Structure formats: structure tokens, C-alpha cells
């Protein structure tokens, strides 16, 4: 219970701080963010956009890990855990895509421009979509679990290409792209310490939130199965 | 094991020659797809970028229309159980993979020749690079589509799901191959396209490894 209150306070603080703290030319007070050329007021969305993308990746990773465990132990619980993770993954994936598109509109002038990162998140959306389509096409539980586990592992091994390789070969707009003149991700060189602190607090908050939601999702799947079984029996 | 895989390939090859289902379907698909593209282009002059992209678009959709046969035909004829009895999963996968690789090479060679004949901007300056891209891309395409075909054959929906499942898996390969095809049009040297070639090679290696590791689980299902 304590950690739920803690999480509430954390996320409330992050939301308020992320939205309300002013951006000034020369930050002096602890609550002032620095002015980042090229981003200006848009910089604030970083507290919400990056954590959603981060959670998407965690959810995808967890889904794959549980798929792997299912193939190893053939325990249907692992398949449910993987499913619960993927359900959250697609929600956060859509959130990351939308917040990213909004940010792109104001920072680069268009909602969508096939920047490498945008391509990757789009591919991730496609993978999730294909995964759910595959699951819904199979009746038998074991078969569904096995085939979707196999597919999620095959999909997972292509992810490094999107995350590490594509941004290097395609010219893009995100920091860290092939034609980027700045030396690396935005975190390293332009945020000051209080901005970084709130950024990492937000990452932590979203990660805890994700694990909590994942647990609830997993439990609800189990109850759903139990009710279905009782219904079938009775 | 190798001779068994080869025999399996021969069996597929002979039954394919008997019905010529995949060959006919693929040939017609290639003609239809390319003529649709030519109609829509009309008298317009398209640039190299678009030519390279359209080349791989046709390759992708042709592969999607024909390559799922490898496993779906076994399921349809109900011969899966017999195959499970006489051969190990690895052997089965090797046999099907050989068949699909040959099919992909044949169909892509036809597509490349047709493109060379019909598209003005399909002029390859660095021929070796194009051949390397062609070979590596085809292998990657064949491997990924074979393993997805195996999944599809076991799942209920046979035809519609295939491109949906394959596209995200093939996306890194296709994007890199489009880039490499453009390089070969521009006459870029091997030195400069080293990184892209490395991506395609690593994609092929990763996919072959993963497919052989995971095929056991699909096949025994």
C-alpha cells in the first residue's frame, strides 16, 4: 500500500513539475528549466514521451522473456504473463507514437516524416498488431501459446536492427541520427541537473506504474479464465 | 540428414512440377504487379529512388503470394504427420528452405530482368554490388518467409495473415536492400556500402539461426 501512495505522489509531482515549471534563459532557482535552442517550450513533452517509449520497450522485452519461458517450461501461466505485458505494450506504443507525432508537429513541422525512430515505433506497432492477429486466429490454447511465443521471439531478434542500426544508416531528425551534428542523445548535453532529475523520476514512475498495471492485467486474465471455466462446467 | 533434406526438396520440386501451382501463380503475379505499376506511371519519368523502392515492393508481394505454399500444402493434404514420422524437424526445415530459396531466386531473377527491360532508370552501375545485394536479400527473404509460412500453416487463417506477420520481420531487410540497390544504381563502391552489406549479412545469419532453433517448437505443435 505504501508504495502505491509513493507512486501516486511521484507521478503527481512529475506531472506538475513537467508541465508547470518555467523555462528560462538562465536558470537560477531549483525549479527553472534551461532554454534549449530548437526545442524551446516543446522540451517539456520529453517527461512524458520518452517514458512511454521506454515502457513500450520494457513491455516488449518482458513479453519475449515470458514467451521464451513458455517454450522452455510449457507452463500456460507464462503465456498469460506474456499476453498481459503485450496488452500494455501496445497501449504504451500507441501513446508513444501519438505524443511523438505531436512533438514532431511542433518541433519539426509535420506529424510524421519517417524519421528512423518513427519507422521503428511504427514497425513495433505492426509487430504488436500482427501478434494479436495471430493470437486471435488460433483456437487451441497450447497451440496459440506456442505459435505466438515463437513469433514474438522472431520479432524480437529484428528489434536491434530498428533500434541500433536504422538510425545509423537513415538520415533522421531525432538526436543521435546519422546526420546529427550534436554529440549524442539529448540527455547528455543539454538538460541541466533538475531537468535530468525530473526526467529520471518520470522514467522510474512510469516503470513502476507499468509493473503495477501488468500485475493487475495478469490477475484479471487469470480470473477471466477461471470464470470461463466455471461457466463452461456449470 | 543432408540427403534426406535433399530428397524432401526433390519431392516438393516434383509435386510442384506436376501441378505448377506456385510457378504459375508467381509468374502471373509478377506480370500483373509490374503492369499495374507501369500503367500507373504512364508517361511519367520516375527517379532512381522510386525504381529501387518499387523493385523491392514487387519482390515482397510476390514472395507473399507464393511462398506460404511450402507448409500450407502439407497441412492441406494432411501429410504433416507422415513427415513428422520420417524426418527430424531440422531436415524438414532444410528441405523446405532449399525449395523456397530456389523459388525466390527464380522469381527475383525474372523480376530483375523485367525491370531492366521495362524501367528506364533501372541502370546498374556497380553490377557486383547489385549481385551481392540480390543474393543476400533473397536468402534473407527466403528464410524469414519460410519460418513465417510454418507458423501460418499451423494457425487457422492461412492466406490473409501471411503478409501481416511477415512485413515487420522483413522490414529491416527490405529497407537496407532498397538502400543497397540505390547504391548499385549510383555506382557506389563496396568500401562505402560495407555497413549496409554487414547489416544484410547479419540479418541473414540471425534469421537462419533463430529459424532453426524455433522450428522444432512449431513443427511439433
Per-residue pLDDT of chain A (234 residues; tens, 9 = 90+): 788 888 888 888 888 888 888 777 777 777 777 776 666 677 778 888 889 999 998 999 999 999 999 999 999 899 999 999 999 999 999 999 999 898 888 877 888 888 888 888 888 899 999 999 999 888 888 899 999 999 999 999 988 888 777 776 666 666 655 555 443 444 445 667 777 888 888 899 999 999 999 999 999 999 998 898 888 887
Using CB atoms, which residue from A137, A169, A170 is nearest to B155?
A137
Cell numbers linked to A154: 522472431
Rounded Cα distance between A24 and A35, Å, is 6
Listed by start position, the domains of chain A span 43-233
What mean pLDDT do residues B177-192 have?
87
Cell (9 digits) for B217: 517448437
Contact B175 A151 (CB under 8 A): no
Q: What is the pLDDT of residue B16?
A: 83
Among candidate residues A177, A97, A104, the one with its CA nearest the CA of residue A129: A97
User: Can you give the pLDDT at residue A220?
Assistant: 94
Q: Which residues contact A120 (CB under 8 A, 6 or more apart)?
A: A162, A163, A166
- Searching chain B, which residue's CA lies closest to the CA of residue A131? B165
Report pLDDT for B32: 93
Average pLDDT over residues B150-174: 86
Q: What's the confidence (pLDDT) of residue A7?
A: 87
Residue B67, SS3? Answer: coil
What is the pLDDT at residue A39?
Answer: 66
Interface test with B, best of A130, A135, A162, A164 (most B CBs within 10 A): A130
Nearest CA in chain A to B210: A154
- Rounded to two decimals, the ipTM of the complex is 0.89
B143, B215 contact by CB (below 8 A): no
CB contact under 8 A, B214 and A142: no
What average pLDDT does chain B have? 88
Contact assignment for A169 to B167 by CB distance below 8 Å: no
Q: Inter-chain contact A165–B199, Cβ cutoff 8 Å?
A: yes
Beta-bridge partners for A23: A33
Which positions ≥6 away from A2 have C-beta within 8 Å?
A: none
Tell me the C-alpha distance between A53 and B60, whole Å.
29
Distance CA B87, CA B89 (A): 7
Q: Which residue of A has its CA nearest to B215?
A: A150
The yes-or-no verdict on residue B33 having pLDDT over 60 is yes
CA distance A67 to A78: 7
Neighbour-count burial of B220, counting CB atoms closer than 10 A to its CB (0-12 exposed, 13-18 middle, 19+ buried)? exposed
Contacts of B167 in chain A (CB under 8 A): 126, 130
Amino acid at each position: 500500500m505504501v508504495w502505491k501512495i509513493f507512486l501516486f505522489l511521484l507521478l503527481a509531482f512529475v506531472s506538475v513539475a513537467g508541465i508547470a515549471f518555467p523555462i528560462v534563459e538562465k536558470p537560477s532557482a531549483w525549479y527553472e528549466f534551461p532554454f534549449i535552442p530548437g526545442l524551446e517550450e516543446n522540451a517539456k513533452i520529453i517527461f512524458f514521451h520518452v517514458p512511454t517509449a521506454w515502457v513500450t520497450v520494457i513491455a516488449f522485452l518482458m513479453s519475449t522473456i515470458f514467451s521464451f519461458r513458455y517454450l522452455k517450461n510449457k507452463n500456460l501461466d507464462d503465456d498469460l504473463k506474456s499476453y498481459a505485458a503485450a496488452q500494455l505494450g501496445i497501449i504504451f506504443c500507441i501513446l508513444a507514437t501519438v505524443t511523438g507525432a505531436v512533438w514532431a508537429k511542433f518541433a519539426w513541422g509535420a506529424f510524421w516524416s519517417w524519421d528512423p525512430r518513427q519507422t521503428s515505433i511504427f514497425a513495433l506497432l505492426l509487430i504488436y498488431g500482427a501478434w494479436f492477429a495471430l493470437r486471435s486466429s488460433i483456437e487451441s490454447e497450447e497451440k496459440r501459446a506456442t505459435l505466438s511465443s515463437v513469433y514474438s521471439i522472431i520479432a524480437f531478434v529484428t528489434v536491434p536492427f530498428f533500434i541500433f542500426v536504422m538510425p545509423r544508416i537513415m538520415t533522421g531528425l531525432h538526436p543521435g541520427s546519422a546526420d546529427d551534428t550534436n554529440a549524442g542523445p539529448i540527455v547528455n548535453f543539454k538538460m541541466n541537473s533538475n531537468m535530468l532529475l525530473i526526467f529520471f523520476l518520470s522514467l522510474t514512475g512510469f516503470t513502476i506504474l507499468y509493473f503495477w498495471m501488468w500485475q493487475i492485467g495478469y490477475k484479471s486474465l487469470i480470473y477471466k479464465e477461471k470464470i470461463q471455466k466455471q461457466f463452461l462446467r456449470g | 540428414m543432408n540427403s534426406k533434406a535433399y530428397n524432401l526438396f526433390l519431392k516438393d520440386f516434383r509435386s510442384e512440377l506436376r501441378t505448377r501451382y506456385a510457378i504459375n501463380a508467381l509468374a502471373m503475379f509478377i506480370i500483373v504487379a509490374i503492369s499495374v505499376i507501369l500503367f500507373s506511371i504512364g508517361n511519367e519519368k520516375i527517379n532512381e529512388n522510386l525504381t529501387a523502392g518499387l523493385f523491392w515492393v514487387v519482390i515482397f508481394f510476390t514472395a507473399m503470394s507464393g511462398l506460404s505454399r511450402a507448409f500450407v500444402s502439407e497441412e492441406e493434404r494432411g501429410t504433416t504427420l507422415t513427415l513428422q514420422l520420417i524426418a527430424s524437424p531440422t531436415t524438414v526445415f532444410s528441405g523446405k528452405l532449399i525449395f523456397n530459396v530456389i523459388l525466390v531466386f527464380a522469381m527475383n531473377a525474372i523480376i530483375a530482368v523485367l525491370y531492366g527491360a521495362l524501367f528506364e532508370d533501372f541502370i546498374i552501375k556497380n553490377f557486383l554490388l547489385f549481385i551481392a545485394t540480390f543474393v543476400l536479400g533473397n536468402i534473407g527473404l527466403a528464410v524469414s518467409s519460410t519460418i513465417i509460412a510454418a507458423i501460418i500453416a499451423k494457425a487457422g487463417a492461412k492466406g490473409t495473415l501471411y503478409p501481416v506477420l511477415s512485413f515487420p520481420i522483413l522490414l529491416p531487410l527490405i529497407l537496407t536492400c532498397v538502400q543497397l540497390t540505390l547504391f548499385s544504381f549510383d555506382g557506389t563502391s563496396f568500401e562505402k556500402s560495407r555497413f549496409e552489406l554487414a547489416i544484410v549479412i547479419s540479418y541473414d545469419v540471425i534469421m537462419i539461426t533463430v529459424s532453426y532453433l524455433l522450428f522444432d517448437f512449431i513443427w511439433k505443435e
